[in-house]
Structure 1
């Protein structure tokens, strides 16, 4: 499979630069190494980075070896962070005054943060010992997965946000919509007749695309006009793929539709457009478990 990235830049939807970039090595000499019952994930499934990690964690079968602390959809700190995470941040950064942001991978042995950089965390979870669960980053598919990450960040997340920006020039909005539709078209062609994006197996690329499609229909759609949403919905193979993954227990059980909506309403300052009334998928109807409620 060949997927060419739209731009050789880090995905813009990753958010602000992380403060902690520790990595789990493959043995004890690294300081932090992948061992059961030492680490803990702290995340909100209403956050796209947290949703990716929750799905990946479940696909890897790590419930027993790396527990998860689920955080509320809306941060409860006065600074925009999560109050429960502040002790971890203060333990790792002297006189830390910034927001205690999620997601976080912490070390229960030391009470400190290993990383708050979600892409690294997902790759490090893939290093945990386990049986009966395939890797999210199979050898030989790294470049494909990275290309999908870039396409989702640049061609879906960023493009959809610019296309729905009420304050942008109409020409710029139209150009951004063209980028979005071109990206969706490329992914649509790849998925025609295929179950997954890479080598016929479920990988981190599928987690990345599924979360981007969730956000496209539940967040970005609200700021697009109805005609733009109809053009987005015309990619039938892509939305059938999203519907199929939502029915997978590792995906649908973490889909907190109410939390995503509240998080969007709490942070968005843009104007709602006609596309808000044109939902593409009935996500709750296809999700496993309690519709709209993540597993706790």
Structure 2
């Protein structure tokens, strides 16, 4: 969620509900298997971070999943993919109901990802920047055997620095370009976006992952933007200096992650395209969803293993996704 400021610049809204689910329960929400439900849209890059982290860490059995319709309406994200248009666990039709169960007078944006307390039906947090970090650290007692360390303590300063630039100029940068209302605002966002992509591409030319020799939270955050780049950001958001497929390094890096268990098996390109092209009517008033691009290249060999690296460190890949969470194959 975000707004356009008086200077015609896109400003992402801060998360309103920032309680944390922690091992010691210091915010009143202790980690407990089965107590919470993660609500996501497979269309949303911020929610997709939590989908990837949950899969890599093997939290499927501890943290249940609700997937919304990729096209929300004025009443918020809808559970129209479920029987009777109602989430079978929370018993609600719209995510906004969980927000108002937490704060009855709340009238702000309804965003995903969201963690909801199942017994009370109340929203716990919509802090997309913190949720995945807590899944990696506070939920460690419930991780699967062989789960990777996505936020290793010794590398956190470097990971945080990488993520800060990626968030500002890439994750949020595509939105700053796409929702700009003035030429100079768009031009500035466009310049920052591609300057950062060039920097990241140069960095990744010599190493397989962003920080260290294993997958970390930084890779998850970059991937969720890259996987949407050609399908929506290049055309819909006018981020069109070049396609992802035209950057040899970033395209191979993105394919490497896509083909890693826990990444590509969470991606639904149909949800992604329908959301962006049908919801953003100010950008695409016809609401026509394009047929392309051809997605078959995502399965092509990437050869990034030649750079070394150990995707899961001393751990192991996650198993296949639960049957109810399998996405359509490319």
| Fold match (TM-score > 0.5) | yes
Provide structure 2 residue ranges, at least 5 long, that are not aligned to the other structure.
1-8, 79-92, 302-319
Residue 210 of structure 1 contacts residue 245 of structure 1 at CA under 8 Å; is this kept in 2?
A: yes
- Which residues in structure 2 correspond to 1:183-198 (within 5 Å)? 183-198=196-211
Provide structure 1 residue ranges, at least 5 long, that are not aligned to the other structure.
1-11
Residue 217 of structure 1 contacts residue 281 of structure 1 at CA under 8 Å; is this kept in 2?
A: no
Q: Which moved more, 1:40-49 or 1:92-101?
A: 92-101
- Which residues in structure 2 correspond to 1:209-288 (within 5 Å)? 209-223=222-236, 228-229=241-242, 233-268=245-280, 269-270=282-283, 282=296, 285=299
Q: Deviations over 1:237-296 (max 9, x none)?
A: 111000111111211111111111111112322369xxx899596466469x99xx9626
More helix by share: 1
Match of 2:53 in 1: 56
In structure 1, C-alpha distance between the alignment counterparts of 2:123 and 2:116, rounded to whole Å: 4
The structural deviation recorded for 1:158 is 4.2
Q: 1:164 to 1:124 in 2, by over 3 A?
A: closer
What is the TM-score of this pair, normalised by structure 2? 0.72
1:153 partnered with 2:167: yes
Q: Deviations over 1:154-177 (max 9, x none)?
A: 2224444455668532x6555443
Q: Which moved more, 1:277-286 or 1:64-73?
A: 277-286
Q: Deviations over 1:171-199 (max 9, x none)?
A: 65554433222211211122123221111
Match of 1:121 in 2: 131
In structure 2, C-alpha distance between the alignment counterparts of 1:261 and 1:187, rounded to whole Å: 25
In structure 2, C-alpha distance between the alignment counterparts of 1:92 and 1:282, rounded to whole Å: 43
Residue 155 of structure 1 contacts residue 180 of structure 1 at CA under 8 Å; is this kept in 2?
A: yes
1:87 is matched with which residue: 97, 101, 107? 97
Task: Classify the secondary structure of the residue corresponding to 2:38.
Answer: strand
Q: 1:206 to 1:13 in 2, by over 3 A?
A: farther
RMSD: 3.3
In structure 2, C-alpha distance between the alignment counterparts of 1:54 and 1:262, rounded to whole Å: 19
What is the TM-score of this pair, normalised by structure 1? 0.79
1:178 partnered with 2:191: yes
Q: 1:193 to 1:281 in 2, by over 3 A?
A: farther
